[in-house]
């Protein structure tokens, strides 16, 4: 979950697409199958475009499941395989309206320990986001009850210290060091922490996501409302935007433009929702080309956008929609360049797409033999120094009369040779 305060500024078309995606996800949940953000499928589990089905045989491993609490984990960061932080909440009487319902989960010394929200934040960690650069530099961004302001705390290895709040809302963050932290406002501003204060940087376009390999190699992506491909008769309202920070300034870089065939549907536009930076010569950005649905009879197909940076320019990945991995949104990447697409797919650096599974919880307590179970992880991050990924979220247990939502942490490690 990227947004922690205020609604993210996105085009109408993008909001419409997300509404459809949420409805599709709820339908999957009711069926008790599939995986979070697993994209379009046909009956065989492969791509609906007719591409070859992905290889099978690899699985997530459940590392923590709270079989008592009704809730979920919504943030995670890892500094090593032995140091993982997560944040979540617990529902009480079907509601979540008390600061005591928010908590942190810390894995250290081989054990998971549940902790109260940092006292320096007055216990309020609604819509949390965790990020880190090392075991003594873990950052927690969170909003209060009003969701209009952001509070920040930093773990220095011995305790949580309050950090001054950035000037406005925060939708994404990137931590490189205690004195090198970036945050996005969700519009055309970025904030930088230099160890003593936040400075405001104006961006050349609206940005909704951050990704970077180093403090002088940072990308912000989103959309622009002017320039090539925007406006005019039948033109798009917005086009994808990618901005780069080289250590001294933010500059927009050219990206492909998009346009629906005539007649162009109402409020059409294209934007980028995420970016994964593997190295200065490899980055991936994804989003969608969409429109306001329900106003015309012949609606075109929503276009999935996947761009790749080769060190000098962005280019569109051809036939991405026909690939069982690349047709999905990228969640994170491994140190070797492997890409993870939610809990359902992994693409090796060599391009091999693998369909992932996860184990069922044992039948005991309130879990019946007839239950259907589904793993939902968001976010998922790389574990430094390893090939592993760790995700925080929940296990859905769908069963007659007693559905369960159990907070969970799971890991996945691609097999060697991929």
Query: Does 89 fall in a domain?
Result: no
Predicted local confidence at residue 215, as pLDDT = 94
- Considering its fold, how many domains does the chain have in total? 1
**Residue 288: which residues within 8 A CB-CB, separation 6 or more?**
13, 14, 17, 270, 271, 273, 302, 303, 304, 305
Range of the domain at 294: 176-323
Sign of CA dihedral 349, 62, 407, 158: negative
69 occurs within a structural domain: no
pLDDT value at residue 97: 55
The verdict on residue 289 lying in a domain is yes
Contact assessment for residue 34 and residue 41, using Cβ atoms and an 8 Å cutoff: yes
Which pLDDT tens digits describe the chain residue by residue (418 residues)? 344 443 333 443 343 333 333 333 333 333 333 334 443 332 222 222 334 556 666 999 999 999 988 999 999 999 999 999 999 999 876 555 555 589 999 999 899 999 999 999 987 888 999 999 999 999 999 986 655 679 999 999 999 999 999 999 999 999 999 999 999 998 999 999 999 999 999 999 999 999 999 999 999 999 999 999 998 777 799 999 999 999 999 999 999 999 999 888 899 999 999 999 999 999 999 999 999 998 878 889 999 999 999 999 999 998 898 999 999 999 999 999 999 999 999 999 999 999 999 999 999 989 999 999 999 999 999 999 999 999 999 999 999 989 999 999 999 999 876 5
> Which residue shows structure tokens 């761009």?
307
Tell me if 288 is assigned to some domain. yes
* pLDDT of res. 257: 95
For 118, counting Cβ atoms within 10 Å of its Cβ (0-12 exposed, 13-18 middle, 19+ buried), the class is buried
Rounded Cα distance, 285 and 278, in Å:
11
For residue 101, the model assigns a pLDDT of 86
Look up residue 361 and give its two tokens: 């919880």
**Is residue 269 assigned to a domain?**
yes
> How many CB atoms neighbour CB 209 within 10 A?
23
Cα gap 94→225, rounded to integer Å: 42
pLDDT the model gives residue 363: 92
- pLDDT tens digits, one per residue of 221-245: 999 999 999 987 777 999 999 999 9
Position 57 scores a pLDDT of: 67
Answer whether 4's CB lies under 8 Å from 170's CB: yes
Res 2: pLDDT: 43
pLDDT confidence of residue 331: 96
- Give domain status of residue 225, yes or no: yes
For 109-131, what is each residue's pLDDT tens digit?
899 999 999 999 987 888 999 99
Asked if the structure places residue 224 within a domain, the reply is yes
Structure tokens at 223: 């959309």
Structure tokens at 287: 């989003």
Q: What is the pTM of this model?
A: 0.86
Does residue 303 lie within any of the structural domains? yes
């Amino acid at each position: 979950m990227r947004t922690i305060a205020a609604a993210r500024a996105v085009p109408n078309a993008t909001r419409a697409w997300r509404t459809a995606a949420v409805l599709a996800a709820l339908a999957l949940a009711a069926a008790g199958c599939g995986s979070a953000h697993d994209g379009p499928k046909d009956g065989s589990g492969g791509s609906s475009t007719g591409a070859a089905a992905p290889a099978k045989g690899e699985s997530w491993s459940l590392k923590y499941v709270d079989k008592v609490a009704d809730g979920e984990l919504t943030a995670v960061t890892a500094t090593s395989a032995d140091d993982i932080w997560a944040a979540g909440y617990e529902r009480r009487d079907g509601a979540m309206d008390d600061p005591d319902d928010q908590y942190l989960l810390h894995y250290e010394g081989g054990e998971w320990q549940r902790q109260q929200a940092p006292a320096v934040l007055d216990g309020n960690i609604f819509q949390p986001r965790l990020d880190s650069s090392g075991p003594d530099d873990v950052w927690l961004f969170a909003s209060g009850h009003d969701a209009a302001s952001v509070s920040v705390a930093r773990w220095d290895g011995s305790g949580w210290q309050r950090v001054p709040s950035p000037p406005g809302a925060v939708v994404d963050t990137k931590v490189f060091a205690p004195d090198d932290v970036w945050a996005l406002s969700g519009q055309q501003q970025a904030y930088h922490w230099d160890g003593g204060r936040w400075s405001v940087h104006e961006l050349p376009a609206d940005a909704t996501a951050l990704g970077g390999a180093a403090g002088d190699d940072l990308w912000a992506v989103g959309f622009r409302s002017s320039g090539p491909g925007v406006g005019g008769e039948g033109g798009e309202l917005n086009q994808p935007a990618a901005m780069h920070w080289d250590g001294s300034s933010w500059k927009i870089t050219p990206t492909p433009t998009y346009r629906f065939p005539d007649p162009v549907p109402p409020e059409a536009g294209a934007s980028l929702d995420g970016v994964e930076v593997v190295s200065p010569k490899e980055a991936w950005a994804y989003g969608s080309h969409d429109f306001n649905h329900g106003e015309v009879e012949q609606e075109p197909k929503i276009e999935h956008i996947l761009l790749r940076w080769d060190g000098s320019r962005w280019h569109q990945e051809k036939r991405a929609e026909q690939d069982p991995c690349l047709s999905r949104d990228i969640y994170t990447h491994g140190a070797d360049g492997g890409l993870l697409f939610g809990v359902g797919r992994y693409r090796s650096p060599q391009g091999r797409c693998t369909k992932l599974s996860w184990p069922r919880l044992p039948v005991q307590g309130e879990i019946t033999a007839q239950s259907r179970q589904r793993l939902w992880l968001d976010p998922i991050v790389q574990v430094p120094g390893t090939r592993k990924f760790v995700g925080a979220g929940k296990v859905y247990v769908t069963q007659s009369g007693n559905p369960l939502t159990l907070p969970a942490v799971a890991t996945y490690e691609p097999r060697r040779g991929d």
